[in-house]
Structure 1
């Protein structure tokens, strides 16, 4: 009996051909493949006749751990070709690795993660010896472009060298011991016929050693512990998700290129890559001439000859294209010289080259593939594409809203809310959604199926994942989502966590967001399903009091207005307005805090303005003379930041209190040109708190005040940006000053 151990690189066309050829040649009794052993009784499902790329998605949940991972297959995956060739040869097929949920794979998002990081020193030495940039170029140089003769022997030498004396960690040790047990059992049950074992090259040396002695009975497949849920389903996958340049954990980069290599060989792959790059660039109206194309191909051929390749390899073609199509200096390293996502600032031509390498193929499951209950539950009620308008005043509208919010929380593509209630808004009872078709919807629903059998259960599980370790801001987001999704049991748990977090919070902005959320839920309990919650009222009160206490201690000089800080003061205002008497909030104490902040020169300008606005709105009038208060607080250098706080909290009071708008116009007009130019961005931000109707009212009053026949609409529709106009005026003034100094103008 012979056991053939084939160590491979995942998603390698050369290894995929070799695996299929070996299985077809030896016609083994068993084909053993690195993969999740708990899928063995579903091998027929895996080989139904899908169109790769596809993947096995596994979701795992227990009280202490949640994990999701993938086992992907494409046409040129050695595991895939070995299984299909084994089925054709009549062999028994087995996955022999631990299930994806097992603790030994807890840190693995993708099972077929190549092991270069484990033997980086050996890989770096080989890269230096062969004068290539990285392990991907090294692999192409040694195996993908070279003839197939002796490939198995060369792979064995390569992986033996890389593994060397490397000590495997405890997770790899556990996996290798389990896989070796399967090998021993298959060898014992093969009745003298061959056995073929296909695993990642890193594991091959250990498996050869471990397979010699030990238990030869069939190993048991581990089962999830009590209280845990583990579900696995086949999902359509895509080349984009496979690609290392999109951040894929491991595997071959540029799956589109390797698909061409699989289908057309090295010469055809290079030609098709050039065509794909040119097509993408021309589709984006980038000029690529025939001369550019000839230059790129000539450069690729010359580089291949210089590097000892019979045909241009992937990096030869890419280097040739970059040399021919990118004329200016490139600030960042070429992405194919390393592994990982594209860096910010990559040249547009380089971005299109990487996209062409990646390809746009998306897999398709066979129509008889079993799908999780969640998919059927959602597709039965999702409805046709189009816009939906929901009346949240009716139970049917609220129930439909909860379903769509659950899908939003699950990350289902093509489900977008375009408008609706928000913590900062009023009691809006209309919600609008846009439903569109998406190729990514089915994979997303299948993967979400690991969380539950229906949208409510799945959304609750996803939200529960967000709770551990969440800060105050994140907890507020979970609370709002739980309420919108109608997950009542989670709402109570998160409220308890929030109540504890509020007492130790030190971030005024986070407190403000939390207060806005809990206040909205307290005010509109029928809408959010939180009517009569005493805990919610207690959190509103504690958050408002904590926010005021923190606000009084904030110190700092001139700085850009902090919008989150301003929003926190607005949330306090709303809490005092709408819940003060019902929840026993001390309005007089709050007014005292606001007056002290507004008068404190050490407090930031935006906070002083917000405090003045808070006191103004709560009293219904400014303390004392409003004009005197405004004039005393207005400092040109920080005027925009101070006004941002004031307008955010007391916009209507400023607009409708006699003489205040005119006073502000006087103060702004009196600013020196340089001061005005510096303050202009902050002033624009401040006046942005007024909606268009009120800005038109301001323009009407100002044009009436100044006269000159200017229309308010003309004032609001400048052809140039105000900053540009102000800069031009400043430049004119400096030019006039220079001319006067030289006596050229009076």
Structure 2
């Protein structure tokens, strides 16, 4: 008996129902499914209740886990339903696509897969939240497997493909929701892209401009057409389409497996992308297939099951075999009757959860509207377009944000799958799973805000776990430093979101250790040994504090000593001190032993005090600004150290510098302000120093820079010191007209940095002074000069302004 070929659309619920019906009607002796043969041993896990879709097969090069691929499955995926049926009925299942090991090993022509990008920064891994507007940057590193074109079911090797502005691969950008595009696997090798969109071709032939709508009308609402008809349509399309070299190799291997299977079984069922059906029925000589496969070499690969999300099944995520609306397809597959009504009930629940009043009357009216729209458009049943428009009009009052909420929660649906606890995997992933259960931190696909109290043991342990994962390149949580700068408090706020790609990062991290703590320690230790600058090592010191990596402290401190001794740049030394001071100051908050760090920090500060006098002389404006920022950072750090001897040494250094004649105005003003705030200078001395750069004969730019440096700490000083405000006011009034244009940008930048309340208070004090002058009988300004602005005021206000009105 010839094998029965079931050409399907990947992640098509109509295809899933039809395949199960055919398997029930004609049970085979063996089932062949498009997929990686190396995963055959994992098929048995499909019968485990703990393996809950969406899930994916993760394959990776054993020696280089960065080269990886996923084969995702949803509950409505035809392959998943076929495998579940076979396992439950005791029918052998075999994947029969080209082995992933061949893709990793390259071919006879020498085209090898390329390793992924470099490791992310230890302290700031870059992994943004995926959304329809902006997909996750990690997609470019390890993409969900998707089509190498827009065919009807072949896996793609496109993880290294370029992405468009929406984060999608070029083929996915023009592909209608993965309309049975190439199948679920994505290796990391770039291959020629197929320009054919079979579902789009069939939809166009039927007079549809939207392939998804055609699929709903023909397959989901009216029943799946005969598989023979699909095979005939695919044959016609392929006859007029260019062949993809990668497809030819894969299909040669599929035919080889079919020949071997025929020797053992008489009744064979094959589930594969519809695109491949013509190639599997075509008469091809054995020698031709052997020639295509000859010379390929294998690389050692490993496989496991990992959780997946519906967001990663969506076509906008860059997954070419994805569908536009996985949540909607899940609903179509799992709902037996009243599809539209039940969907709108769920939509009402989403709105109510966000405080939007939605009654039963809304649901009834929206259902009627959706059905009426379907009737007007000649559709057999209301589809996603109709229920969305009905919900928008009746339940959302036309509010785009409410429609977007329903789309995110239901149309896409961020459902996260699960795998059994005893699933074979790397020890690092096992350790993380154990800690997640112990700390009651369940991975979720949706954003979740988490507030931690570090005074409680569970809050402290959760914080340490999240920081350790970031070191391993698994940014499960957005760190508190990036949100509110709460490093040194007893409270942290995190935003958690689990991404499927983290499974690959955990495999990569397993090369450093078998537990999260040991792997993070080993990775920090290696980073310290490889660090080239003092700043790199300093960042690692703070990382050790946040993650409580006591085992990494000795090598990190040793590297810090070495880099500090070799680095003679005062700017680098000053840049290192703030992080070290924060570590010392807040080590007790996190119950972290930071012994030995105080000596290193004190040594650096002593070197800064010794080298700063030679670094501040005759510097440019840009260098002065950088030094000002560095000095501010060290000054704040010294306040955290709570060491009076170091504080007095630092202030003594600033005092010796502040009076130098060759000091840049910005630095002179800033040092004067710091010394005044520290109690080293009184108000009388500050006003005397301020008069020096503001006297006649001093370049106005130098005076403006001095004022900028002095006031960069805030404007409250001018609010409370009348003498200082008057001094600045007199200086501003005396600036020559030809120099004012060059001084104005500096002054604008200075006063623009003040808080709005400070600026308002300063303005009120100045205007009060003017009123007092007017009441004393003097206008306080040159009337002839003031009259010059009247034409401009008249133009701005749209009417003539007299001199009397202006005054």
TM-score by length of 2: 0.60
- Answer with 45-54 or 587-596: which moved more: 587-596
Secondary structure of the corresponding residue to residue 111 of structure 1: coil
Distance of 1:660 and 1:414 partners within structure 2: 48
Shift of residue 73, structure 1, vs aligned partner: 2.0
Residue of 382, 392, 398 corresponding to 1:312: 382
Distance of 1:273 and 1:79 partners within structure 2: 25
Trace 1:560-575 onto structure 2 (pairs within 5 A).
Answer: 567-571=629-633
Distance of 1:499 and 1:553 partners within structure 2: 31
Where does residue 517 of structure 1 map in the other structure?
579
Distance of 2:631 and 2:45 partners within structure 1: 58
Secondary structure of the corresponding residue to residue 32 of structure 1: strand
Q: CA RMSD in A?
A: 6.7
Distance of 2:601 and 2:405 partners within structure 1: 54
Where does residue 198 of structure 1 map in the other structure?
271
Q: Specify whether residues 419 and 268 from structure 1 end up closer, same or farther in structure 2 by C-alpha distance, changes over 3 A only.
A: closer
Q: Specify whether residues 653 and 187 from structure 1 end up closer, same or farther in structure 2 by C-alpha distance, changes over 3 A only.
A: farther
Q: Specify whether residues 610 and 364 from structure 1 end up closer, same or farther in structure 2 by C-alpha distance, changes over 3 A only.
A: same
Q: Answer yes or no: is the 8 Å Cα contact 1:132–1:138 preserved in 2.
A: yes
- Answer with 126-135 or 570-579: which moved more: 570-579
Do structure 1's residue 300 and structure 2's residue 361 form an aligned pair?
Answer: no
Distance of 1:497 and 1:176 partners within structure 2: 57
Q: Answer yes or no: is the 8 Å Cα contact 1:300–1:316 preserved in 2.
A: yes
Distance of 1:530 and 1:173 partners within structure 2: 64
Shift of residue 92, structure 1, vs aligned partner: 0.8
Residue of 406, 410, 414 corresponding to 2:468: 406
Residue of 754, 760, 765 corresponding to 1:686: 754
Secondary structure of the corresponding residue to residue 189 of structure 1: coil
Where does residue 111 of structure 1 map in the other structure?
145
Shift of residue 146, structure 1, vs aligned partner: 4.1
Do structure 1's residue 359 and structure 2's residue 413 form an aligned pair?
Answer: yes
Q: Specify whether residues 740 and 532 from structure 1 end up closer, same or farther in structure 2 by C-alpha distance, changes over 3 A only.
A: closer
Q: Answer yes or no: is the 8 Å Cα contact 2:13–2:329 preserved in 1.
A: yes
Where does residue 148 of structure 1 map in the other structure?
224
Residue of 446, 454, 465 corresponding to 1:389: 454
Where does residue 517 of structure 2 map in the other structure?
456
Trace 1:634-653 onto structure 2 (pairs within 5 A).
Answer: 646-647=710-711
Trace 1:147-296 onto structure 2 (pairs within 5 A).
Answer: 147-154=223-230, 157-158=233-234, 161=237, 165-168=241-244, 176=251, 179-190=254-265, 193-206=266-279, 224=300, 232-235=304-307, 237-245=308-316, 250-264=321-335, 268-281=338-351, 284-285=355-356, 294-296=368-370
Distance of 2:705 and 2:655 partners within structure 1: 26
Where does residue 55 of structure 1 map in the other structure?
55
Listed one character per residue, the Cα deviations across residues 496-517 of structure 1 (whole Å, up to 9, x for unaligned) are 899999x99x9x9x99876643
Aligned length: 658
Q: Answer yes or no: is the 8 Å Cα contact 2:69–2:144 preserved in 1.
A: yes
Q: Answer yes or no: is the 8 Å Cα contact 1:486–1:528 preserved in 2.
A: no
Where does residue 710 of structure 1 map in the other structure?
none
Do structure 1's residue 378 and structure 2's residue 428 form an aligned pair?
Answer: no
Distance of 2:62 and 2:659 partners within structure 1: 47
Listed one character per residue, the Cα deviations across residues 254-287 of structure 1 (whole Å, up to 9, x for unaligned) are 122112221346x844444444445544654377
Q: Answer yes or no: is the 8 Å Cα contact 2:347–2:406 preserved in 1.
A: yes
Where does residue 625 of structure 1 map in the other structure?
688
Q: Answer yes or no: is the 8 Å Cα contact 1:56–1:70 preserved in 2.
A: yes
Shift of residue 432, structure 1, vs aligned partner: 3.7
Q: Answer yes or no: is the 8 Å Cα contact 2:73–2:79 preserved in 1.
A: yes
| Uncovered stretches (5+) of structure 2, i.e. residues with no partner | 106-112, 116-140, 151-170, 172-192, 442-449, 736-742, 770-792
Listed one character per residue, the Cα deviations across residues 359-412 of structure 1 (whole Å, up to 9, x for unaligned) are 3544455576567431454147537998543499xxx99988644532565657
Where does residue 73 of structure 1 map in the other structure?
73
Distance of 2:29 and 2:602 partners within structure 1: 65
Distance of 2:560 and 2:147 partners within structure 1: 37
Do structure 1's residue 39 and structure 2's residue 39 form an aligned pair?
Answer: yes
Where does residue 2 of structure 1 map in the other structure?
2
Distance of 2:17 and 2:46 partners within structure 1: 20
Q: Answer yes or no: is the 8 Å Cα contact 2:31–2:91 preserved in 1.
A: yes
Shift of residue 455, structure 1, vs aligned partner: 1.4
Where does residue 127 of structure 2 map in the other structure?
none
Shift of residue 41, structure 1, vs aligned partner: 1.8
Do structure 1's residue 28 and structure 2's residue 101 form an aligned pair?
Answer: no
Shift of residue 593, structure 1, vs aligned partner: 13
Distance of 1:597 and 1:132 partners within structure 2: 75
Where does residue 726 of structure 1 map in the other structure?
none
Distance of 2:17 and 2:714 partners within structure 1: 72
Distance of 1:551 and 1:34 partners within structure 2: 72
Shift of residue 201, structure 1, vs aligned partner: 3.8
Trace 1:729-740 onto structure 2 (pairs within 5 A).
Answer: none
- Answer with 180-189 or 483-492: which moved more: 483-492
Distance of 1:59 and 1:568 partners within structure 2: 48
Shift of residue 78, structure 1, vs aligned partner: 0.9
Listed one character per residue, the Cα deviations across residues 18-70 of structure 1 (whole Å, up to 9, x for unaligned) are 32233333322321223343332232223213474231363758786625654
Shift of residue 127, structure 1, vs aligned partner: 5.9
Where does residue 401 of structure 2 map in the other structure?
348
Q: Answer yes or no: is the 8 Å Cα contact 1:86–1:93 preserved in 2.
A: yes
Secondary structure of the corresponding residue to residue 35 of structure 1: coil
Q: Specify whether residues 276 and 325 from structure 1 end up closer, same or farther in structure 2 by C-alpha distance, changes over 3 A only.
A: same
Q: Answer yes or no: is the 8 Å Cα contact 1:486–1:529 preserved in 2.
A: no
Shift of residue 743, structure 1, vs aligned partner: 7.9
Q: Answer yes or no: is the 8 Å Cα contact 1:176–1:207 preserved in 2.
A: yes
Shift of residue 121, structure 1, vs aligned partner: 5.2
Secondary structure of the corresponding residue to residue 96 of structure 2: strand
Distance of 1:406 and 1:397 partners within structure 2: 14
TM-score by length of 1: 0.64
Q: Specify whether residues 432 and 519 from structure 1 end up closer, same or farther in structure 2 by C-alpha distance, changes over 3 A only.
A: closer
Distance of 1:404 and 1:92 partners within structure 2: 42
Distance of 1:612 and 1:115 partners within structure 2: 66
Shift of residue 159, structure 1, vs aligned partner: 7.1
Where does residue 16 of structure 2 map in the other structure?
16
Where does residue 602 of structure 1 map in the other structure?
none
Q: Answer yes or no: is the 8 Å Cα contact 2:534–2:573 preserved in 1.
A: yes
Shift of residue 481, structure 1, vs aligned partner: 2.8
Distance of 1:78 and 1:551 partners within structure 2: 74
Q: Answer yes or no: is the 8 Å Cα contact 1:140–1:313 preserved in 2.
A: yes
| Uncovered stretches (5+) of structure 1, i.e. residues with no partner | 329-345, 600-604, 708-731
Distance of 1:743 and 1:156 partners within structure 2: 92
Distance of 1:232 and 1:632 partners within structure 2: 77
Distance of 1:624 and 1:669 partners within structure 2: 17
Distance of 1:168 and 1:496 partners within structure 2: 53
